Amino acid sequence: MSPRPIPIRSERVPRQVFFYDQPERFVAGTVGQPGSRAFYLQASARGRITSVLLEKAQVAALAERVEEVLDEALRRSGGSAAIPAVAPAELLDSAPLDVPLEQEFRVGTMALAWDTVDERLVVEAQALVEEAEEDENALYEDDENGPDMLRVRLTGAMARVFAKRALDLVAAGRKPCPFCNLPLDPEGHLCPRANGYRR
């Protein structure tokens, strides 16, 4: 008589939420040379550091959206919200990423919200999950079995500083091709608008 198989339950590990309420630093940064850079979001406070990996396009989209949300919050408040029009020069941060640089997860979904009571920008970056597991409402719910998440609450000034650094970081990469707008490769660019000829 052959042994009966024992059913094994697949249980999800409870999610980790890396929460920072007004961190000492919240920055986008890179590791590597232009053309092969890895992009990270990094939050740090009181000796604790959380780093998450994401795509260059995600950094650009997040920074642009941060600016839009801040501008809209300032407009709706009639100019009374504690949000500077531009990043304060004295708060600008050009230092490299903190070490040790240990990736917690790769970012899939991101969300932003303006807390009108506390006047804080809430940034949430959720770990990438398989399409079958995705739930578009999960980002706004504290599901203990959901994907890991980095949640940061920033003042208006700190959010402006984050956005400026992130946009500068994206712009510092490889120059775009004037014809197709794809990044130019120093070893030769195969431009799709030039019928396969290198530029």
- The structural domain count of the chain equals 1
pLDDT band at 166 (very low <50, low <70, confident <90, very high): very high
In a domain, 144, yes or no: yes
In a domain, 160, yes or no: yes
pLDDT of residue 89: 95
In a domain, 1, yes or no: no
In a domain, 191, yes or no: no
pLDDT per residue as tens digits for the range 7-66: 544 455 678 999 999 999 999 999 988 778 999 999 999 999 999 999 999 999 999 999
Quick one: what percent of the chain has pLDDT higher than 90?
Answer: 65
In a domain, 189, yes or no: no
Q: What is the rounded average pLDDT of the residues 77-88?
A: 94
Contact 165, 92 (CB under 8 A): yes
Which CATH number goes with the domain that contains 23?
A: 3.30.2450
Taking the C-alpha atoms of residue 87 and residue 83, their distance in angstroms, rounded to an integer, is 9
Find where tokens 């990736």 sit.
103
| Domain carrying residue 116 | 17-174
Cβ within 8 Å of residue 57, ≥6 positions away: none
DSSP 2-28: PPPPPP----PPPP-EEEEES-SEEEE
Taking the C-alpha atoms of residue 171 and residue 165, their distance in angstroms, rounded to an integer, is 10
